[in-house]
Amino acid sequence: MCTILLPIKPEYANKIIEQTKLYEYRKTKCKKEVDRIVIYSTSPIKKVIAEVEVKEIISNSPNQLWKDTKDYSGISKTKYMKYFENKNIAFAYKLGEVIVYDSPKTLKDFGIDYYPQSYVYLTN
């Protein structure tokens, strides 16, 4: 089990915090088993704002994954389908308990001195 830091657009990061978005979609799966995600809210926020438990990682065809998760996707079907365009498999982190930081942190607080494009392992 490990923790990763994910860059997430502010509109989706806020939906995760509000718990109206219970699935975080990705085109690829981490090689290690993830049990926690640290949320880096991207531009214009550019801060680490929260962390969330990962209950499970689901994979399926994009169409089937949408059917299974759409009620708490936090994204429109159009944007979802565009994101997974030309992909045969889609991944979703099923999210659980959220911990919002009292004061947002910087990437440097986590020993990161670059903007992560996909994810960064924080623990093994």
How many domains are contained in the chain? 1
Per-residue confidence (pLDDT) for residue 123, from 0 to 100:
79
Neighbours of 37 (CB within 10 A): 23
CATH of the domain at 70: 2.30.130.30
Per-residue confidence (pLDDT) for residue 86, from 0 to 100:
97
Structure tokens, 4: 């990763």
Parent domain of 32: 2-121
Find where tokens 């059917």 sit: 67
What whole-number distance in Å separates Cα of residue 104 and Cα of residue 110? 12
Q: By C-alpha distance, which of 117, 3, 106 is closest to 53? A: 3
- Split at pLDDT 50, 70, 90, the class of 43 is very high
What whole-number distance in Å separates Cα of residue 39 and Cα of residue 16? 9
pLDDT, tens digit (0-9, with 9 covering 90-100), for 92-111: 999 999 999 999 999 999 99
Neighbours of 52 (CB within 10 A): 25
- Split at pLDDT 50, 70, 90, the class of 124 is low
Find where tokens 């919002």 sit: 100
**Quick one: average pLDDT of 44-63?**
98
**pLDDT exceeds 70 at position 90:** yes
**Quick one: average pLDDT of 47-55?**
98
> What radius of gyration do the chain's Cα atoms show?
14
Give percent above pLDDT 90 in the chain. 95
Residues in the chain, how many? Answer: 124
Q: Which helix (H) or strand (E) holds 75?
A: none
What whole-number distance in Å separates Cα of residue 112 and Cα of residue 73? 29
